[in-house]
Amino acid sequence: MKKHKNRFKQYEEISDEFSSEWRKLDLLVPSNLKMLDSLLDLKLETLLKDFMWRLSYMVASGTDEQCEAARDYFLACGYGKDLYSEAQLLQIFRELDAKKQFWPDVDDEVITPVQEELHYLWSHMHMEYWFAKWKGRRGRSKF
């Protein structure tokens, strides 16, 4: 029997460029934010983590309304507008949201380990494609 080469082996481990990572940051925290955090018994780390995960439309990152509010704030600040048109930025966020919608339900008992592995492979392949597509469009205001 002929053995087939695994065409997808390169996607078994996701590149560091496409994976979440821990970073140490030195930030100047405004005094008003420190006081708000204290009054509300909120940790600054929680506030920043929640915003980052909701902005990036990661799985289990909050409600649709929370993700949209983070996106709207990001766009209102004008981030990325020198590299992409408003329509392109909205499309980027729509595509991140669409990927989140394809994530399997962790409580789904019918998903097999093979199906789960295939999903991770697809996810890794798709994010590399997605990133390269949008990186190639930087500075071009037309689709």
**pTM of the complete model beyond 0.85:** no
Q: Which of 107, 71, 62, 101 is nearest to 89 (CA)?
A: 71
Q: Which of 137, 49, 48, 134 is nearest to 93 (CA)?
A: 134
Per-residue pLDDT at 1 exceeds 80: no
In tens, the pLDDT along 14-44 reads 666 667 788 888 999 999 999 999 999 999 9
Q: Is residue 122 a contact partner of residue 12, using CB atoms and an 8 Å limit? A: no
